[in-house]
Chains A and B, each alone.
Chain A
Amino acid sequence: MTLNDVWFAAIAVLWVGYFVLEGFDFGVGMLLPLLAKDGTERRVMINTIGPVWDGNEVWLLTAGGATFAAFPEWYASLFSGFYLPLLLILVALILRGVAFEYRAKRDSDRWRAGWDRCIEIGSFVPALLWGVAFANIVRGVKLDADHEYVGTFWDLLNPYAILGGLVTLTLFATHGAIFLALKTTGDIRKRAGALALKLGVAAAVLAVAFLAWTQAQSGGNAWSVILAVLAALSLVGALVAIYRGREGWSFTLSAVAVGVAVVSLFVVLYPDVLPSTISPANSLTVQNAAATPKTLGIMTWVAVIFLPLVLLYQSWTYWVFRRRIGVRDIPA
């Protein structure tokens, strides 16, 4: 295993961290209009992720920065090639982040309603588009010999990618609903559990179709098949657990499902990082997209020291805010 492989794995880990964590807070944001009956319930939902969503989002910045550092060619081709989807994601993340902080800053229903739309749309758009983006990465895009993207925006919206988007959308919504069932009390907890079950069935059907399509497209890869099956089983397990009212287990299993599904896609992708559909010779791989061994070596030390530290204090945050929240807890 070379340093290039280590960094391919490290990038996968960062995306797993990002999707497992921000996946549920996207879910919570999207479910605001579906679950909350009134303003107080909205506040209950938003406060379940209040102390943690920003820390969750840093996983994205770290994944982006690490890709830049470890695979500059990948970063350059991906970010310039996926320009418009990334622009939409940026706008969504900006509106959403500001909305969390500002929604309670004026005592006006219109003001709050406006920001709540920002949270809902700002969660929905990235939840959909990250799936579209990842499906395109796995499927490959039109890269020329200089590794420049020569396709259009519409090429990125192919059926396979749209299916990928629907998978992340429903999966994150399910993950978020399970998280809400785990973190709330009272009526909203029950409704979140029931909704998780419905959304989860849709997510499971879409995910199985997507993973099967992925295998058919890539010609089948034993490890990724095993991982894909494992992801599907975890999701089913999560649904069984939520049905039985075991919210802790359900959340653990849905987190595993999201994480393992991401890993399975990275396994399909390897050793490419961004395949070219024009010619395999144009594909970006862990070799030709990478930084020098020197940079990779330094970054390895940095990651080995600091990533566990981050995990430690971030886990501690979740421990500090482990209590369930109910309508009763919201100050007038």
Chain B
Amino acid sequence: MDALDLARWQFGITTVYHWLFVPITIGMSLLVAMVHTAWVRTGKPHYLRATKFWGKLLLINFAMGVVTGIVQEFQFGMNWSSYSRFVGDIFGAPLAMEALLAFFLESTFLGLWIFGWDRLPKKLHLACIWLVAFGTMLSGYFILAANSFMQWPVGFTIANGRAELTDFGAVLTNKVVLATFPHTIFAAWLSAGIVFMAVSAWHVGRRRDLDVFRPSLKLGLWTALISFVLIFFSGDTLGKIMTETQPMKMAAAEALYETMQPAPFSLLTIGTLDGTEPIFQLEIPGALSFLATGSFDGKVQGINDLQAQYEKEFGPGDYRPYIPITYWGFRLMIGAGALAALIALVLLWLTRKGRIPERRWIWSVAVWSVVLPIVAHSFGWIFTEMGRQPWIVFSQMETVAGVSPSVSAGTVLFSLIVFTLLYGVLAVVELGLMIKYGRKAPPPVEPPKEDDDSTLAFAY
């Protein structure tokens, strides 16, 4: 493997890993803010216990998202210096704004929220967690705006050997980010909803602390279901925009080799190992046409036609992404997300009007389904990024041209090994803590102390 492959593996591993934690953080900070609000408004102690319980899980998860995020910002310069030189004039601004507008907000107010119990007035303290929730979403907007430039570059001109900004408004309102942002945020809510569902299911199935976990379960289930509906519609919009901006990615998502009108949606395709020829296909007629164009007999361009078209436009080269990954990535994203929502729907029915099903396996399924949104998120991004290949900035710069020329393969390999080992160990630690604190009973509500000035509300 050369430095390019290693740098790509490193970006893939560190980014997917970072994204294991971030969606849960985005969604959970919102849900914790909602539970905290319920306590402030009603004063019911079980809401306070729920806030503290979910808050702890949120913090365990938050820490991982924060520390792995630093790597992301440094990585562009370390492994992708040619890319950074080429796009810095456009790409750097959203990153700087993400730090200045969002990271400061998140980290400062998270510190205030953690340590501010009993020290800040109740409503001000509540405002802190809402600001954290807002900050996480704002940060998502900026980084997705930066990513959308790579998918569909707008608001720039090529001058002095680099992409130079001509319209920052266009970069921030790129039609790709306008579709990707809601889709991603709704998916983050789904993750958090499923985490609430899974953890609550563990307790409800054992009939423990029902005053805390029945409402939590309900909140999780409804969040998951509503999010899924929103994901469905935002995904539909995103699919059409993707067809318009990156038709090759849509064709690769479907392993659609020949242009078709109408085009079927493939349920299963088995291709040759190099991913260039289909062997066996099972499909729904017209469905892909609808997904891509909004009409059941719309024309969808195939990989081979697009390849020929791009050769004419950009010169000789291979403009096809690696089809098995895009094809299965797309299916795993949709399949895992839909399955999670289906489980939530069934559980909502089974627990209607305060029912608690007796069968243990029902609760086991609910607990284990926590992996589904994580799978959906990971493969969604693997599909999005792999589907853009061979481009690092679609139509402007190929990935091969973006890598750091001064960094040797050995150096990248070394850092790849370091990050993989470190991240592996931390994953075990994180998961262990999530399981430990997920199984713990919510803390009892402490009676107000006379001299609560003398001890810290929350100490590390």
Interface residues of A (CB under 8 A from B): 43, 46-47, 50-52, 54-55, 57-58, 60-62, 64-73, 75-81, 83-84, 86-87, 90-91, 93-95, 97-98, 100-106, 146, 148-150, 291-292, 294-295, 298-299, 302-303, 306-307, 310, 313-314, 317, 320-321, 325, 328-331
Contact B63 A62 (CB under 8 A): no
State which of A46, A101, A292, A320 has its C-beta within 8 Å of the C-beta of B164: A292
Find out whether the CB atom of A79 lies under 8 angstroms from the CB atom of B88. no
CA distance A331 to B79 in the complex (A): 46
Question: Are A93's CB and B95's CB within 8 A?
Answer: no
A320 contacts B92, C-beta separation under 8 Å: no
Task: Please determine whether B99 and A50 come into contact, CB atoms closer than 8 angstroms.
Answer: no
A105 near B437 with CB under 8 A, answer yes
Closest Cβ–Cβ distance, residue A267 to chain B (whole Å): 23
The answer to whether A64 touches B73 (Cβ under 8 A) is yes
Is B16 at the interface (CB under 8 A from chain A)? no
B429 closest partner in A (C-beta): A102
**Which A residue's beta carbon lies closest to that of B93?**
A69
- Given contacts A72-B89, A101-B63, are A62 and B99 in contact (CB under 8 A)? yes
B71 engages A94 (CB within 8 Å): yes
In contact, B406 and A62 (Cβ under 8 angstroms): no
In the complex the two chains form, what is the Cα distance from A84 to B109 in whole Å? 33
B104 interface residue (CB < 8 Å to A): yes
Comparing B111-119, B211-219, B240-248, the segment that makes contact with chain A is: B111-119
Considering the complex, which residues of chain B in the window 38-66 have a beta carbon less than 8 Å from any beta carbon of chain A?
A: 59-60, 62-64, 66
Are A75 and B92 touching (Cβ within 8 A)?
Answer: yes
Does B269 reach chain A (CB closer than 8 Å)? no
Checking A78, A90, A328 against B70 with a beta-carbon cut-off of 8 angstroms, the contacting residue is A90
* A-B pairs with beta carbons under 8 Å apart, 20 shown: A50-B115, A58-B104, A61-B99, A62-B104, A65-B97, A65-B100, A75-B88, A77-B81, A80-B404, A80-B406, A87-B78, A90-B70, A91-B418, A105-B60, A106-B436, A295-B165, A298-B165, A313-B109, A328-B455, A329-B459
Contact A148 B405 (CB under 8 A): yes
Report how far A176 CA is from B100 CA in the complex, Å: 25
Option from A57, A73, A303 in Cβ contact (under 8 Å) with B85:
A73
Q: How far is the CA of A70 from the CA of B77 in the complex (A)?
A: 14
Contact B63 A97 (CB under 8 A): yes
Q: Quote the shortest CB–CB distance from B171 to chain A (angstroms).
A: 10
Contact (A69, B459) CB under 8 Å given A64-B73, A79-B74, A292-B165: no
Contact B460 A294 (CB under 8 A): no
- Total interface residues on B, CB under 8 Å, equals 73
Contacting pair B107 A87 (CB below 8 A) = no
* Shortest Cβ gap from B132 to chain A (Å): 11
* Binary per-residue interface labels of chain B (144-178) against chain A in the complex, 1 for a CB within 8 Å, 0 otherwise: 00000000000000000010111010000000000
Complex formed: what's the CA distance from A101 to B85 in Å? 36
A69 engages B63 (CB within 8 Å)? no
A43 to B406, CA, bound (A): 44
Would you list which residues of chain B between 394 and 414 have a CB under 8 Å from chain A? 404-407, 411, 414
Which residues does chain A contribute within 8 Å of B69, judged by CB atoms?
61
Chain B's nearest CB lies how many Å from the CB of A156?
13
**CB-defined contacts of A47 to chain B, threshold 8 Å:** 456, 459-460
| Given known A-B contacts A101-B60, A298-B168, A75 and B99 have beta carbons under 8 A apart | no
Q: How far is the CB of B258 from chain A (nearest CB, A)?
A: 42
| Complex alpha-carbon distance, A75 and B69, angstroms | 17
- B162 closest partner in A (C-beta): A72
Task: Identify the interface centre among B79, B88, B110, B407: most chain A CB within 10 Å of its CB.
Answer: B88
Chain A residues within 8 Å of B165, by CB: 291-292, 294-295, 298
Would you call A310 and B107 a contact (CB within 8 A)? no
Closest CB in chain A relative to B15 CB, distance in Å: 14
Residue on A nearest B426 in the bound complex, by CB: A98
Is there contact, CB below 8 Å, between A72 and B85?
yes
List, in ascending order, chain A residues with CB within 8 A of B111's CB.
Answer: 50-52, 54-55, 317
User: Does B309 sit at the interface, judged by CB under 8 A?
Assistant: no
